Structure 1
Amino acid sequence: MALSTGFTRLFGVRHPIGLAPMGGSAGGALAAAVSRGGGLGMVGGGDREWLDRELPIVAADGDRPWGVGFLTWAVTSAVVEHALEYGPSAVMLSFGDPAPFVKVIQEAGAALIIQVTDLEEARQAVDLGADVIVAQGTEAGGHGARRGRSTLPFVPVVVDLAGPVPVLAAGGIADGRGVAAVLALGAAGALVGTRFQATVEALVDPAVVNAIVEGRGGDTERSVVLDIVRGSAWPGKYTARTLGHPYLDRWRGREDELVGDPLARRDYQNDVERGVIPPLPVWAGEGFDLVADVPSAADLVADLAAQAEVALDRAGRS
């Protein structure tokens, strides 16, 4: 059974699976491997130095579709325009107002992918002419809406709102059963993040990979604490899902006090420098109970698709 959807037909890919453009870990090699495996690989956005290092890797890896994603609240038009010079098939915008960047992306001939975390954002994405909408549930690792909705109820509502526009589901999807589930909800595919961090090509510290493989989804929590102590300028609308962390234990429930504490960020940096805590939080979604190995990303795409076909066939027979 071929899993042909509006997403696979739009990009000419074999499988309805996309790589979440995770900053710092979704580099050119990972994106290229996902595209090589039949999905849509996307590089996490960054500054020009990062783009000039990572985008040539995926751009040179055969004539396959690939994309790049940006944090809309943090990126500039100049950086988006620079990325477009490498000829991506798609540009994904997340977390913030995508409107200022739509025209330049469309004029470059790249597909416009907009990630949404609530229905207001979904309506805006439709109005702006998004070619693909990503509906992100709160199970997702990394940042998401503070008052968002779970993937299961959120995705079909966005599918109904989007009409003919393909919708990818994101949040807590880590195996083929999850892909099958969101296809059954009407999505045209899945955007997968945490699972791809535990792959050979991901730019992830081995200690982080080990934490993902050995951890459990129940060990994660969504919070603003780590953004505050790291001095990160994320808008207040968004919190981050990470693995447990000493600073979460120290400041949980005292976020307002933390904001006003001038020593907290200094203590955090000192602890990082002394090796007491890891240099970066472990961004991880609730689905990583299902992560048990570290395959190549190309093989993982094929495995996810095959598992999804089996799950859909089993559901149809039952």
Structure 2
Amino acid sequence: MLRTPVCGVLGIEVPIVQGPLGGPWQQSMRLAAAVGNAGALGSVPTTLRTPAQVREDVRRLRDLTDRPFALNMTRRPFDPEVFEAVIAEAPPVFSFALGEPDGLVPRVHQAGAVFVQQVTTVEQAVRAAEAGVDVISAQGTEAGGFCGDVSTMALVPQVVDAVHPVPVLASGGVADGRGIAAALALGAQGVNIGTRFLASAECGVSDDWKAAIVSAASQDAVKVEFVDHILPPPTEGGYTTVPRSLRTRFVEEGNAGPEEAAARADALRGEVMTSMRDGTAHELIPLTGQTAGLVHDVAPAAELVHRLIAEAEATLRALAGLASAHGEGGPG
């Protein structure tokens, strides 16, 4: 079984982290539990959820698994009351995205949790390492949801070099075992995967969203350039990022007419928040990465974990064989 040093840090068996997939709507605890029970790390989002909802989510998850899991927070927005609820739950792993970890690391460590910080630039990674985080997730622009501008292929090795010996996960652009093998070749010790797990049997999003992912090409996942007019802005210390979504009429019209979107910001924001709460978010902004082009089915999460690892191991064996054959046939 493929295992790297970060597995020991996170308390997992295989180097796969399921990215948090949710907001006011929830990905379902069944997904995080299934991923965890398969030996990877399941994640639970807390964005725009109340402290009571977070406590109930964790209770349900712990009823489903005794494996480690991550509770995720972001600075878009950051709710101090939710943070206190998260700390009180003492999750095995705390993951943080879309902003600086300033002041949070000591509290997380005091709660006994491992701190995983998502970054989109080398500079952010260096600051996170200096702040004392335990693991850094370097997220490339291929990712779904909020992401930066630098590709995973270019970002990951730079982050690995800049923060050594802090372990790095590659995020964005990974949806099969070949992507895991590539991430390891770049110096990462594991991967963070979102879009592939969106199209899983346990994920709580609409079947229409899952079907759209399966049928989409990579170029159908585009940046939502008018995001500041439809979603809450970053709080202090937040990163400047733009989410990636499958094309919809809502996305196409907003990107084509940002001035009109700005003029209708309050109405559009209300429309989006309502869609997130009633389960129709996929009709407006189905946040999805470019790896949609690599997703061809909807499968149980545990099957996906096992498939990803088997593919990665087969790819690494093939590469080792290729290198061996080349060495034997080279000039002597």
TM-score of the pair, normalised by structure 1? 0.90
The verdict on how the C-alpha distance between 1:264 and 1:12 changes in structure 2, with shifts beyond 3 A counting, is: closer
Give the 5 Å matches for 1:304-315: 304-315=308-319
Which runs of 5 or more structure 2 residues have no equivalent in the other structure? 323-332
Identify which of 272, 275, 284 aligns with 2:288. 284
User: What is the correspondence of 1:170-209 to structure 2 with a 5 Å cutoff?
Assistant: 170-209=171-210
Distance 1:177-1:279 versus aligned 2 partners, 3 A rule:
same
Match of 2:28 in 1: 27
Would you say the 8 A contact 1:225–1:247 is kept in 2? no
Counterpart-to-counterpart distance in 2, 1:299 and 1:78: 36
Within the candidate set 227, 242, 246, 1:243 is matched to 246
What are the superposed Cα offsets for residues 94-137 of structure 1, whole Å, 9 maximum, x if unpaired? 00121132221111010001000111210111011111000000
Structure 2 match to 1:8 = 7
**Structure 2 equivalent of residue 223 of structure 1:** 224
Report percent identity of matched pairs. Answer: 34
Per the alignment, residue 151 of structure 1 pairs with 152
Counterpart in the other structure of 1:232? 232
Tell me by how many angstroms 1:12 deviates. Answer: 3.0
Please state how far the C-alpha of 1:225 moved relative to its aligned partner.
Answer: 2.2
Once structures 1 and 2 are overlaid, which stretch shifts more, 105-114 or 249-258? 249-258
1:213 is aligned to 214
One-letter amino acid of the counterpart of residue 21, structure 1: P
The 1:103–1:294 alpha-carbon spacing in structure 2 relative to 1, beyond 3 Å, is: same
Higher mean C-alpha displacement, 239-248 vs 54-63: 54-63
> CA offsets, 1:71-98, max 9 Å, x none?
1341233312212333311100100121
Deviation (angstroms), 1:40: 0.7
Per-residue deviation at 1:236? 7.8
Question: 1:263: how far off?
Answer: 8.0
- After superposition, residues 12-161 of structure 1 pair within 5 angstroms as 12-23=11-22, 24-45=25-46, 46-145=49-148, 148-161=149-162
Change in CA separation of 1:252 and 1:79 when aligned onto 2, cut-off 3 Å: closer
CA distance in 2, matches of 1:103, 1:241: 32
SS at match of 1:187: coil
Taking a change above 3 Å as real, the CA distance of residues 267 and 7 of structure 1, as seen in their structure-2 partners, is: closer
Shifted more, 67-76 versus 14-23: the winner is 67-76
Contact 1:26 1:42 in 2 (8 A): no
CA apart distance, 1:154:
0.4
CA shift in 2, pair 1:190/1:141, >3 Å: same
Relative distance call for 1:62 and 1:263 in structure 2 (3 A) is closer
Matched residues in 2 for 1:12 and 1:247: separation?
A: 41
Tell me whether 1:295 sits opposite 2:296 in the alignment.
no
Partners of 1:226 and 1:248 within 8 A in 2: no
Checking the alignment, whether the CA contact within 8 Å between 1:221 and 1:241 is kept in structure 2 is yes
One-letter code aligned to 2:297: D
Shift of 1:255: 2.2
Deviation at 1:250, TM superposition (A): 2.2
Q: Displaced runs of 4+ in structure 1, greater than 3 A?
A: 24-27, 260-264, 266-269, 275-280
Q: CA deviation at 1:193?
A: 0.2
Q: Which amino acid aligns with 1:100?
A: G
Distance 2:251 2:128 in 1: 34
Q: Secondary structure of the residue that 1:100 maps to in structure 2? A: coil
Give the aligned CA root-mean-square deviation in angstroms. 2.5
